[in-house]
Amino acid sequence: MGSGKSSAGKGIAACLRWSFTDLDKLVEEKVGMTVAGIFASKGEEFFRKAEAEALQDVSGQTRRVVACGGGTPCSDKNISLMKATGVTVYLRVTVDELVSRLNRSVTERPLLKDAGPDELHSSVKKLLDKRSSWYEQADLILDPETMGEEEMTTMIADTVRSKGVCL
C-alpha cells in the first residue's frame, strides 16, 4: 500500500507499449463494489478469492503490466503464478515513507481502517513484516525512494526485455 505500484505500472506499460491493468480495479469491476465495500460487506476471504481469480485471468494475457494489491503475492498459488507468467517487481519503501504517503492518500485502505494516526506506523510495520518474505521473492527489488520514476521505469522495462518476456 502506497509504494507506487499503480503509477510505476502505468509508466512501465507506456515504456513497453503494453496494456496496463490495476488488479484492484479489475476486482472492483467484476464484483461491482469498491475494495473497501467488498471488505466491509463480504470480508477479506471473499476479496482474496476474487483477487486470485482476477490474477488468473490477467496472467493468461500477453503484453500486459499488472499492478497488484499488496496482499496479492502473499500466497503460494499467487506468487507461483506471478513468477511463472512474468517478471515480478517489489518496490521496497521504508515504513516511514509508506506512512507519509498513506497520510497524504485519499484512497481507503481496508486493512488499515482501524488504525488511527498514532497507530498507523505500527500497523504498517506489522503488515510489512508479515508480507516481506513474499515480497522478497520478486525477480527485481527496487527502492523508489532513491531512484527517479523514469530511472526505475527504464530499469524494469530493460529487465523485462532482457529476460525475453513478452507476456
* CB atoms near residue 104 (< 10 Å): 8
Domains of the chain, start order? 5-162 (3.40.50.300)
pLDDT value, residue 167: 44
Give the C-alpha separation, 63 to 53, whole Å: 19
Task: Give residue 161's Cα distance to chain centre.
Answer: 21
pLDDT value, residue 83: 93
Predicted TM-score (pTM) of this structure? 0.85
Give the C-alpha separation, 53 to 155, whole Å: 29
65: left (phi over 0), alpha (psi -120 to 50) or beta: beta
pLDDT digits (tens), the chain, 167 positions: 767 788 889 988 998 899 999 999 999 999 999 998 999 999 999 999 999 999 999 998 989 999 998 899 999 999 999 999 989 999 998 888 888 877 766 566 665 666 666 777 888 899 899 999 999 999 999 988 888 888 888 888 888 888 765 54
Q: Tell me the three cell numbers of residue 62.
A: 500477453
Evaluate whether 18 touches 36 at the Cβ level (below 8 Å): no
Angle between helices 76-85 and 44-59 (to 10 degrees): 20
Q: Tell me the three cell numbers of residue 111.
A: 486493512
